[in-house]
Copies of this chain bind each other. A is one copy, B any other.
């Protein structure tokens, strides 16, 4: 068979089920191969940032890699930002990047670029295939690399002739590296920090915000009085009624310092000492209190679950204090003009069972997250790498992974414009995604940041670079143009009605909330 078919057979044997794609001429044999394997669901994105962001959402919810089919350097470049976000989430991902045929590269044709350099700068693992014979084994290694715990970005560069040539080889199933073991001395150190009567914090992150881990952490906290905390931006956090509250570190460093004030020791599981998102003149980057004792019990790559289990055993920790569970939610209003605080309260009330929330609501979202602790149990996905334009594709991929779960996407208007093409894929695939666009007609965070970096004596021309006014984006018209039922919700009543219907109906919808 041709090597493209052999690659896809290899990947299917390894467990591949979804290909997110925006292919070109150099990928034609790979497209044909996808067609030949009915086990694979091909999903078209009209821009590569949609493709890579969707693969991240899919990976966070399915626990495994999709393959992205991308067209040479520029295709990978267009996917860079959401690969970056996925890399920071440590999501498993395979990029299959078509390149010119080996014999064609030397001619520097228009689409030739420094693909290898770009792949290196965006990926944890890169391999360039040199012959059709090599391609299937390259696929095995890419799958293996992508699934090394907790997940990596694996990029396989496939020259066109290495896909169209013949081979009789199929790649093997290779074992990925699992979580590495905890050091017993560090475990002892963590135990001591938790029990020495100091003001201790148990700081979870990465893979260890699932219900089981959070429950174990809550048992430890109940026994020791440690505070539970997590990262500002989380890959995936289990939350809701009956699930212990693990409070994220605030975004702004001043608030983060307050949050950590008085903490004498921190035990990290799947995370590392927190730093501020950006640096500012005369502000600290490193946020842990000075002289605090920091214990790195489990890094991202280590077996944090085992670490939590061991601590529970050592502490004989079996109970979860009521105090760690979410408290009663404030009442959502029944009517009146809608604002982001209301949206928070309303989602607190209306979030459906097993919802998946993709959160890139930025400044408007500050009021949503705190109000949904006591909602029906759900998973919360956030912007791990800070590169805006992730929320819509992430929601798209999460919906592909979990067709039976409603997906809610909370998005600022500025970020939503980055990968707005996602709406089209949601419509084509008939995904149950409810996109809530907080339209404040600004990069509002930057107005705040301009103040925070110091008085800079700016006027209208600087302000114009943060403003999405003039013209105002018409979200109803925009959503509809891409096949998505779209609404604006100026009042609480309308929001209740539209949202409740949207999450219960198949297919995507968009709700504009003007801020």
Taking beta carbons and an 8 Å cutoff, which residues of A are in contact with B? 21, 23-26, 28-29, 31-32, 34-36, 38, 42, 44, 46-47, 49, 73-75, 77-78, 80-81, 84-85, 87-88, 100-101, 103-104, 107-111, 113-115, 117-118, 120-122, 160-161, 164, 233, 275-279, 281, 285-286, 384-387, 389, 414, 417-418, 420-421, 424, 427-428, 445-446, 449-450, 453-454, 456-459, 461-462, 464-465, 467-468, 470-478, 480-483
Which residues of B sit under 8 angstroms from A80, Cβ to Cβ? 73-74, 77-78, 80, 118
Number of copies: 2
Q: A285-B107, A456-B29 are in contact. Are A120 and B122 (CB under 8 A)?
A: no
Give, as a whole number of angstroms, the nearest-CB distance from A465 to chain B.
Answer: 5
Which residues of B sit under 8 angstroms from A103, Cβ to Cβ? 279, 285
- Counting from the closest, the 6 A-B pairs by CB-CB distance are A471-B483, A77-B80, A117-B121, A74-B387, A101-B279, A478-B481
The answer for the CA separation of A395 and B293 in the assembled complex, in Å, is 57
Using CB atoms, name the residue of chain B closest to A2. Answer: B456
Which residues of B sit under 8 angstroms from A277, Cβ to Cβ? 25, 109-111
User: Judging by beta carbons under 8 Å apart, are B418 and A23 in contact?
Assistant: no
Give, as a whole number of angstroms, the nearest-CB distance from A392 to chain B.
Answer: 13
Indicate which residue in B28, B118, B233 contacts A456 across the interface (CB closer than 8 Å). B28
User: Judging by beta carbons under 8 Å apart, are A47 and B111 in contact?
Assistant: no
Which residues of B sit under 8 angstroms from A107, Cβ to Cβ? 275, 285-286
The answer for the CA separation of A118 and B36 in the assembled complex, in Å, is 35
14 A-B Cβ contacts within 8 A? A25-B449, A28-B453, A32-B450, A35-B458, A36-B458, A73-B84, A74-B385, A74-B386, A111-B385, A113-B122, A115-B121, A117-B120, A117-B121, A118-B122
Q: A111-B385, A464-B44 are in contact. Are A100 and B418 (CB under 8 A)?
A: no
Using CB atoms, name the residue of chain B closest to A232. Answer: B110
The answer for the CA separation of A44 and B473 in the assembled complex, in Å, is 14
User: Judging by beta carbons under 8 Å apart, are A278 and B477 in contact?
Assistant: no
Give, as a whole number of angstroms, the nearest-CB distance from A354 to chain B.
Answer: 27
Indicate which residue in B21, B74, B446 contacts A23 across the interface (CB closer than 8 Å). B446
The answer for the CA separation of A386 and B75 in the assembled complex, in Å, is 11
User: Judging by beta carbons under 8 Å apart, are B275 and A424 in contact?
Assistant: no
Indicate which residue in B21, B29, B385, B462 contacts A465 across the interface (CB closer than 8 Å). B21
User: Judging by beta carbons under 8 Å apart, are B28 and A449 in contact?
Assistant: yes
User: Judging by beta carbons under 8 Å apart, are A278 and B475 in contact?
Assistant: no
Indicate which residue in B427, B456, B481 contacts A477 across the interface (CB closer than 8 Å). B481
Which residues of B sit under 8 angstroms from A120, Cβ to Cβ? 114, 117, 121
Which residues of B sit under 8 angstroms from A474, Cβ to Cβ? 480-482
**Residue among A25, A42, A459 with max Cβ neighbours from chain B (10 Å):** A25
**Residue among A121, A281, A424, A458 with max Cβ neighbours from chain B (10 Å):** A121
Which residues of B sit under 8 angstroms from A475, Cβ to Cβ? 481
The answer for the CA separation of A68 and B122 in the assembled complex, in Å, is 22
Which residues of B sit under 8 angstroms from A471, Cβ to Cβ? 424, 427-428, 482-483
User: Judging by beta carbons under 8 Å apart, are A25 and B446 in contact?
Assistant: yes
User: Judging by beta carbons under 8 Å apart, are A458 and B417 in contact?
Assistant: no
User: Judging by beta carbons under 8 Å apart, are A465 and B42 in contact?
Assistant: yes
Using CB atoms, name the residue of chain B closest to A453. Answer: B28
Q: A117-B121, A285-B103, A454-B164 are in contact. Are A34 and B462 (CB under 8 A)?
A: yes
User: Judging by beta carbons under 8 Å apart, are A161 and B31 in contact?
Assistant: no
Give, as a whole number of angstroms, the nearest-CB distance from A316 to chain B.
Answer: 37
The answer for the CA separation of A480 and B479 in the assembled complex, in Å, is 12
User: Judging by beta carbons under 8 Å apart, are A281 and B164 in contact?
Assistant: yes
The answer for the CA separation of A450 and B26 in the assembled complex, in Å, is 10
Which residues of B sit under 8 angstroms from A42, Cβ to Cβ? 461-462, 464-465
The answer for the CA separation of A456 and B276 in the assembled complex, in Å, is 52
Indicate which residue in B85, B121, B420, B453 contacts A420 across the interface (CB closer than 8 Å). B420
The answer for the CA separation of A132 and B116 in the assembled complex, in Å, is 33
The answer for the CA separation of A220 and B238 in the assembled complex, in Å, is 75
The answer for the CA separation of A104 and B282 in the assembled complex, in Å, is 12
User: Judging by beta carbons under 8 Å apart, are B121 and A456 in contact?
Assistant: no
Q: A418-B46, A453-B164 are in contact. Are A28 and B446 (CB under 8 A)?
A: yes
Which residues of B sit under 8 angstroms from A389, Cβ to Cβ? 47, 78
Q: A387-B111, A428-B470 are in contact. Are A417 and B31 (CB under 8 A)?
A: no
User: Judging by beta carbons under 8 Å apart, are B462 and A32 in contact?
Assistant: yes
* Besides A25-B278, A475-B481, 16 other A-B contacts (C-beta < 8 A): A31-B458, A32-B450, A34-B461, A49-B78, A73-B121, A74-B85, A75-B387, A77-B77, A107-B285, A109-B277, A111-B277, A111-B385, A111-B387, A424-B471, A474-B480, A476-B481
Give, as a whole number of angstroms, the nearest-CB distance from A374 to chain B.
Answer: 28
User: Judging by beta carbons under 8 Å apart, are B470 and A481 in contact?
Assistant: no
User: Judging by beta carbons under 8 Å apart, are A32 and B458 in contact?
Assistant: yes
